[in-house]
Structure 1
Amino acid sequence: MSNDNLIETQDLSVGFPVGGKIFNKSTLMAVNEVSLSIPRGSFFGVVGESGSGKTTFGRALLNAAPITSGSAHYDDGEVNYNLGKLAGADLKEYRRRAQLIFQDPYAALSPRMTVRDIIAEPLEVMGLCNSRDEVDERVREIAGLCRLNLEHLRRFPHAFSGGQRQRISIARALVSKPRFVVADESVAALDVSIQADILNLLKSLQDEMGLTYLFISHDLSVVAHTCDHVAVMYLGQIMESAPTRQLFQSPRHPYTKALFSAIPSLDPDDRGKAQKLEGEIPSPTNRPSGCQFHTRCPFATDQCRREEPHLETFEAGHAVSCHRWRELEMAD
């Protein structure tokens, strides 16, 4: 594992058994042989359609979904964990170092607890403080960093707007001083103006606390504004991965190009060339042979239907999984 990477996965797969007495038993592969690296201190984005496996991948890196095969490693310079084999004290310590920011700020907070108790709960459950005064000091510290007033700590969640509730959720996730944070659609439920405020808060907290984010989203404009590096997922696999600016300026995979063509333009005279994708994502329990995208790809050939492409790195940090990307690049 590289010393510069916080997370590294190698052929990581996550499957769930489905079926039973009535239906034939099978395995739903939500994540299928994903290999990638998340550098320390990065804002790493994962995008794709609903059902592409983004959330399950994030849960696997939090040790909240079982790793079926392959491996995932965490190394922050102080500890080095194989995430598929964590147990006991190591698992408890990893829970402190890796946290999750939920999507829905309304459902994520208990209506029966004050803001102070909500933020303090991880400290008390993990036994990270020796006294109530120490807990209160830590709560006040993280509340200030998340731009919450001290008077807010005595109130209940129903008294706050969506943006304020999300700041409370962020404070709860960061109060244990984690190194790795999975933000799963953490601004999707907010108004656009509030989204910008929360994203700027996440960036400032990253600088202050030395955080590494895995930012899961379907909003490409948000990803373009926020992330350093982006991986594009489809049917549980990485189709393309590159530094953000490079990916948005020169997408190589047909699926990536189709996603980016749907981004609305601020120029009223720019009609663009939207590439319509026919059909739906195939079922993960009945994956197509060859390239997973060939059933919806307008450029698919017999080779695409027979042979599965591998993620190929062709320049610094830019990798693509497509048999024909060079040929299509020349044709454009």
Structure 2
Amino acid sequence: MTSPPNTLISTRDLQVGFAIRKGPFSKGLLKAVDGISIDIPKGAFLGVVGESGSGKTTLGRALLQAVPVTGGSATYDDGEVRYDLGQLKGAALKEYRSRAQLIFQDPYAALSPRMTVRDIIAEPLEVMGLTKSRAETDARVREVAATCRLNLEHLRRFPHAFSGGQRQRISIARALVCGPRFVIADEAVAALDVSIQADILNLLKQLQRDLGITFLFISHDLSVVAHTCDHVAVMYLGRIVESAPTRALFRAPRHPYTRALFSAIPSLDPDDRGRAQVLSGEIPSPTNQPSGCTFHPRCPFATERCKREAPQAEKGADGHMVSCHHWRELAAAPDAIRQAEPAE
């Protein structure tokens, strides 16, 4: 299957597994990412959502080559260079790291307390040898700092002097200083107050528009994803079970898991109660995945077919993809999810 034109990141049956010892004489395989095929267009803002343990962060790390790809393929193609991410080593990997960067979740732990803000932002330039002199490095640091709404006097200070939002802008500046085309934001606003979250999200959207950066935005917060992302992929147990343009997904989710996630979004109406669906049990262990549809042990609509047969991904002309045997029946009954026992 070929990738559509204007695709920056493309994966086909991408797999990431970790060997684990199950006993004194046997080993097993933990499938953190299990057969993901996705195309990320240039300049897109793709959101990835799902419960803890669904494989979101591992997917991001695999696309940065921070963890090895154990199966399938992943490619990067920005029109100037093309990389097979599973084969990157040495100088090629170092060059790719200048084109793909990460914004960490915790702005307090991500910055060295012994370095000034200037040195923190300049470090990628110096490690990768992207500038030839200190004057050139300082000029680039000042340019990126201004883009991220940092004042010049901030560059002489240490991280302890800043609030969480300011620290996250420093982290963003460090990620942008080498001019990346692809940035992964892993829960980049989860540790911030709501008002500061809005400021950081607006900054990321502005960077997307002004610099044409492609973002992969990993988050638990569906309201943040709705505000920021152009397209959303829903992960469960290492697989993408549904993906669609943001408005289409929020207007009419098709997979039972997606519908359960959306039903749990708090309402601003204090009289609006009993809408959340309680999923029984927890997400299964990646070392012992259920047969058939991996969601069937928790799905209120599961049938015998779901237990035996894994659903195939179906993609419509509108770009809406879903992996569920019964999504058409659920689409015909949009309020069926509310028939389940409501949350207390």
TM over 0.5: yes
| Cα offsets for 1:175-217 (capped at 9, x unmatched) | 0000000000000000000000000011111122110000000
Cα distance, 1:273 vs structure 2: 2.0
Partner of 1:301: 303
1:105 aligns with 2:107: yes
Work out which of the residue numbers 156, 159, 168 in structure 2 matches 1:157.
Answer: 159
Deviations 1:64-122 (A, max 9, x none): 11111001111111111111111222211110000000000000000000000000000
Larger displacement relative to structure 2 (67-76 or 268-277) = 268-277
Give the letter for the 2:124 counterpart. Answer: P
**Equivalent position SS for 1:171:** helix
The alignment status of 1:45 with 2:74, answered yes or no, reads: no
Q: Which runs of 5+ in 1 are unaligned?
A: none
d(CA) in 2 for partners of 1:306 and 1:20? 26
Counting only pairs closer than 5 Å after superposition, residues 100-179 of structure 1 correspond to structure 2 as 100-179=102-181
Q: TM-score, normalised by structure 1?
A: 0.98
Paired residues of 1:44 and 1:228 also in contact (CA < 8 A): yes
Which of 275, 278, 281 aligns to 1:279? It is: 281
TM-superposed deviation, 1:319: 0.3
SS in 1 for 2:191: coil
The match for 2:208 among 206, 220, 234 is: 206
- Structure 1 pair 279/71, CA: closer, same or farther in 2 (3 Å)? same
* Distance in 2 (alpha carbons) for counterparts of 1:22 and 1:204: 53
Residue 242 of structure 2 is aligned to residue 237 of structure 1: no
Q: CA deviation at 1:272?
A: 5.3
Distance in 2, matches of 1:23 and 1:190, equals 46
Q: Secondary structure at the match of 1:46?
A: strand
Q: Contact 1:14 / 1:66 at 8 angstroms: preserved in 2?
A: yes
8 A Cα contact 1:55 1:216, kept in partner: yes
Match of 1:89 in 2: 91
User: Structure 1 residue 27: deviation in Å?
Assistant: 0.4
Distance 1:66 1:252, change over 3 A: same
Structure-2 separation of matches of 1:37 and 1:286: 28
The Cα of 1:310 is off from its aligned counterpart by 1.4
Alignment of 1:216-235 (within 5 A): 216-235=218-237
Secondary structure of the 1:134 match is: helix
1:265 aligns with 2:267: yes
Letter matched to residue 317 of structure 2: E
Query: In the aligned structure 2, how far is the partner of 1:157 from the partner of 1:295?
Result: 46
The CA distance in 1 between the partners of 2:9 and 2:231, in whole Å, is: 14
Equivalent position of 1:182 in the other structure:
184
State TM-score, norm by structure 2.
0.95
Number of residue pairs aligned between Structure 1 and Structure 2: 332
Contact 1:15 1:68 in 2 (8 A): yes
Preserved contact between residue 55 and residue 184 of structure 1 (Cα < 8 Å): yes
What is the DSSP-based 3-state SS (H/G/I as helix, E as strand, rest coil) of the residue aligned with 2:60? Answer: helix
Give the percent of matched residue pairs that are identical in Structure 1 and Structure 2: 75
Tell me how far apart the structure 1 counterparts of residues 326 and 261 of structure 2 sit (CA, whole Å): 18
Alpha-carbon offset, residue 21 of structure 1 = 5.9
2:339 paired residue number: none
Contact kept in structure 2, 1:261 and 1:272, CA below 8 Å? no
Deviation per residue, 1:275-314 (Å, 9 max, x gap): 1101001000001000010010011111100000111102
1-side partners of 2:74 and 2:168: how far apart?
29
Cα separation, 2, equivalents of 1:254 and 1:200: 31
- Runs of 4+ that moved beyond 3 A: 20-24
**Which string of whole-angstrom CA distances, capped at 9 and with x for unpartnered residues, describes residues 37-62 of structure 1?**
11110110000000000000000001
Deviations 1:7-43 (A, max 9, x none): 1110001000011663731000000000111111011
